[in-house]
Structure 1
Amino acid sequence: MEKVFKEIEKRIKRLEAEIELAEKRLELLEETGAAHKYQIWEKRKSYSEYYLIFIAIWMIMGLMLLLYIKNKYAQRIPLSLTPYIILAFVLIILPLIYVVWKFMYKEEIESPLEYLSKREKNARIVLNAFYLPLKEALENENEEKLRRIADNLLTSEGLARAIEEENEGDPKVMAYAIYLYLNRDKDVKDEIEETVKLLRNKPLKALLSFLLEKDRETL
């Protein structure tokens, strides 16, 4: 089991370092005012879309006025208003097409603040809801707690998402690995061997590998 605890400890230290680094970077952004400047820049970007919509509305009103003048004073005005109407129509359509296109194909780009906050939050969730309880449960041989951890991997969307975004493995496969460990006294050797191949989470991979090694020693 020594290798299992070493792998768990590695993950704990890595996540703690990630949390500390994210906190320091967030503090630096706040101290330098970079966070505030970025928020202002984001607001200006969103305002540009409102300006285009305002221009389009203004042009529509102008087009309606031209159509009104053409219909009412067609006999008195010698000049043709058709070119002006076409021009106004084009000037209305272009901004509207741009706004619709931008809305449909808009990519959600995370700001540095959002990215760092999300990484810190995910690291805390994985650390506090998975690795620390897992370490404690294995140290104390608390099978009930291990079962709750496995259940949580399947039922908690927040934990599952955080594990995936932190590249700690597939939550479903991880939960299955814990269930196999809990049922290690039954004839589940084949399932354990298959799950070891699928597991990307190193601590749980080490845990199941420990069971296989133990089984070979008894032969």
Structure 2
Amino acid sequence: MKEVLEEIETRIKRLEAEIELIEERLKFLDRVGATSKYQILQRRTKTGELYIMFFVIWGFMGLTLLLYLKYKYSEILPFSLTPYIGAMMAFIIIPFLYYFFLSKQSEPENPINYLEKKERMARLALNRFYIPLKEALKHEKLKEIANRLLQGEVADAITELNEGDPKVMAYALYLYLNRDSVRPSEINEVVTLLKNKPLKKLLLTISEEKVSSPHT
């Protein structure tokens, strides 16, 4: 159990260091004015999208009017409306295609948002998984931690930070809770699937106990 707790403590310190590093990066970006620049860029992007939508709506209204005139007054109009209808359709289609294809593909990732998301995920993993896991191991209260791994935010944070598969991790904790009734083969199977080192060490302690006590 000592090795398991040490591994968890290592994970806790790593996440704390990662959070501290992200905070320093965010402070630096704010200090050099990058935060406000990205906010301005985001506002410009949103404004551009609004303009595109306005042109599409305006073009659609114009196209509707031209079609109405064509089919209602085509016999008395001295010129053909077909070229104007074609031009209006192009006026609608081009910005539409730009918005849904070109702008989305070339849109750069905002580093501020990325860092803030990463910090939030690290805090979730730290405060809602590793620290409670450490305390739960000391008091044999792991069921709540296992259930928490199956919830949205914590599961997302664990996945985002590459800490392992939340479902496999939860199953590992359930196995540990029922270690007296599980088969060694079942434990070994889950160990091979586990990528989370603290929980892998935790299951290995059961496996070692069962090997040293074959009558159980």
CA contact (8 A) 2:66 2:85 kept: no
Give the counterpart letter for 1:162 in structure 2. A
Gaps of 5+ in 1: none
The offset of 1:66, in angstroms, is: 11
> What secondary structure does 2:149 align onto?
helix
Residue matched to 1:178: 173
Q: Alignment length, in residue pairs?
A: 211
Q: Which residue of 2 aligns with 1:147?
A: 143
2:163 to 161, 164, 168: 168
Is it true that 1:199 corresponds to 2:198 in the alignment?
no
Please state if 1:157 is matched with 2:165: no
Q: Deviations over 1:33-76 (max 9, x none)?
A: 2111111112212222333344445556766479859859745x
| Deviation, structure 1 residue 82 | 5.2
Which structure is larger by alpha-carbon Rg, 1 or 2?
A: 1
1:129-166 deviation line (CA, Å, top 9, x unaligned): 1111222222x3x22x2122112222x21111111111
2:4 alignment partner AA: V
Who is 1:38 aligned against?
Answer: 38
Residues 13, 108 of structure 1: alpha-carbon distance in 2 compared, 3 angstrom cutoff: farther
- Equivalents in 2 of 1:137, 1:53: separation in Å? 53
SS in 2 for 1:167: coil
Q: Do structure 1's residue 212 and structure 2's residue 211 form an aligned pair?
A: no
Change in 2 beyond 3 A, CA 1:170/1:58: closer
TM-score, structure 2 normalization = 0.80
Inter-partner Cα distance in structure 1 for 2:61 and 2:213:
87
Q: Once the two structures are aligned, what percentage of the paired residues are identical?
A: 52
1:108–1:159 distance in 2 versus 1, CA, 3 Å: farther
Q: Residue 147 and residue 106 in structure 1: after superposition, are their counterparts in 2 closer, same or farther (change >3 A)?
A: same
Which moves more between the two structures, 81-90 or 161-170?
81-90
Unaligned runs of 5+ in 2: none
1:171 Cα deviation from its structure 2 partner: 1.4
SS at match of 1:169: coil
Q: Which moved more, 1:54-63 or 1:85-94?
A: 54-63
AA aligned opposite 1:196: V
